[in-house]
Amino acid sequence: MMAQEHFVEYKGRSVLITGGLGFIGSNLARALVEIGGVDVTILDSLVPGQGGNLHNIEGIRDRVKLQIADMGSNTVINHLVGGVDYIFNLAGSVSHLDSMNNPLRDLELNCAAQLTLLEACRSFNPHVKIIFTSTRQIYGTPVYLPLDERHRVEPPDINGIHKLAAEQYHLLYRRVYGIRSVCLRLTNTYGPRQLLLHDRQSFIAWFIRQAMDGGVIELFGEGKQRRDLNYVDDVIEALLGAGASEAAEGEVFNLGGTEPIMLSALAEELISLTGHGSVRCLPFPPERQSIEIGNAYSSAEKIQSLTGWRPRTSLREGLIRTIEFYQKHRDHYWNVDADTLSRSQTTVS
């Protein structure tokens, strides 16, 4: 766990989590509730296919405030940001494939909504601390490895371009308006409460589902690409640490993961751990080949030197925990409607 002094920063404070019913947001909400004395508000629009799931806050629902609404709505966000101490800004689309198929929708979710939030903060809460989650994908095909924050940026897809723009919005509003923003570029994150309904957001989540189902894990290009991964608990510690650090304000950090692993080796590890599944190698489909970046993994040296953060969970340990969670809660993540509950089924407190 993270050093106790980082947790103390949040006691008696108010926190807004955008995209808080999603994978990382719900795990963050749980961590904040465990700290105690934190006023937690979750904002999520439950956009179908994006990972929002009411089961993600099962057990803490009576300890958080829940707002089912669109962050891009001025009326909603203007009201929510007032008086908040911290905003963990996790809302947005993370699908690279979807962004290429529907770029204007990605623009709406990843740029327009971000500006709406920042404008609300400028007008109603200019002293708020915002921790924004971006993506390692903005670097594009690596020129050298591991990727560090000095590497040139050349996003290979619409989602990467929009995430980079959103980063720049946050940093600009800090320079011009004094809003205390920090940006974290996440690598491949996995763990409990992740969307497992399709393969458009996370290859590792889909690999886990296929292995548990005894299905076929499809590897493009023979699966020789090497990637780093972070267990979600480690990412939560990085988010909390960045929020607690004044020195992190105005900075961009990579969340480099554990030792990079070939996708083929990852698939074999999952098959070994679950006792199910098989592997099939296929040529890259054109829509994936056009945005494929090859080997890609990041350095966490910068954030470690400033906050002391580093990934602590081994890949094997993280995979075991993740598989055990889905074995126990399978019905809430395998169902095609698990993350698209109608608003009539939700309650807002």
Find out whether 84 and 60 touch, Cβ atoms under 8 Å.
no
The domain of 130 spans 4-193+229-257+297-312
Q: Strand, helix or coil at 277?
A: coil
> Which CATH number do you get for residue 172?
3.40.50.720
Q: Does 276 fall in a domain?
A: no
Domain count, the chain: 1
The overall pTM is greater than 0.85: yes
pLDDT the model gives residue 149: 98
Q: Does 69 fall in a domain?
A: yes
298: β partners? 147
Q: Does 176 fall in a domain?
A: yes
261: β partners? 227
Task: Please list the helix, strand and coil fractions of the chain in percent, rounded to the nearest 5, in that order.
Answer: 45, 15, 35
Q: Does 134 fall in a domain?
A: yes
pLDDT the model gives residue 337: 56
Per-residue pLDDT of the chain (349 residues; tens, 9 = 90+): 444 455 789 999 999 999 999 999 999 999 999 999 999 999 999 988 788 999 999 999 999 999 999 999 999 999 999 999 999 999 998 888 889 999 999 999 999 999 999 999 999 999 999 999 999 999 999 999 999 999 999 999 999 999 999 999 999 999 999 999 999 999 999 999 999 987 777 899 999 999 999 999 999 888 999 999 999 999 999 999 999 999 999 999 999 999 999 999 999 999 999 999 999 998 877 877 767 788 999 999 999 999 999 999 999 999 999 999 999 999 999 975 544 443 434 434 3
Phi–psi pair at 305, nearest 5 degrees: -70, -30
Q: Does 306 fall in a domain?
A: yes
Structure tokens at 122: 């400028």
pLDDT, tens digit, 9 for 90 and up, residues 229-255? 999 999 999 999 999 999 999 999 999
Burial class (CB in 10 A: 0-12, 13-18, 19+), 39: middle
Q: Does 202 fall in a domain?
A: no
Q: Does 59 fall in a domain?
A: yes
Residue written as token pair 């190698």: 281
Q: Does 65 fall in a domain?
A: yes
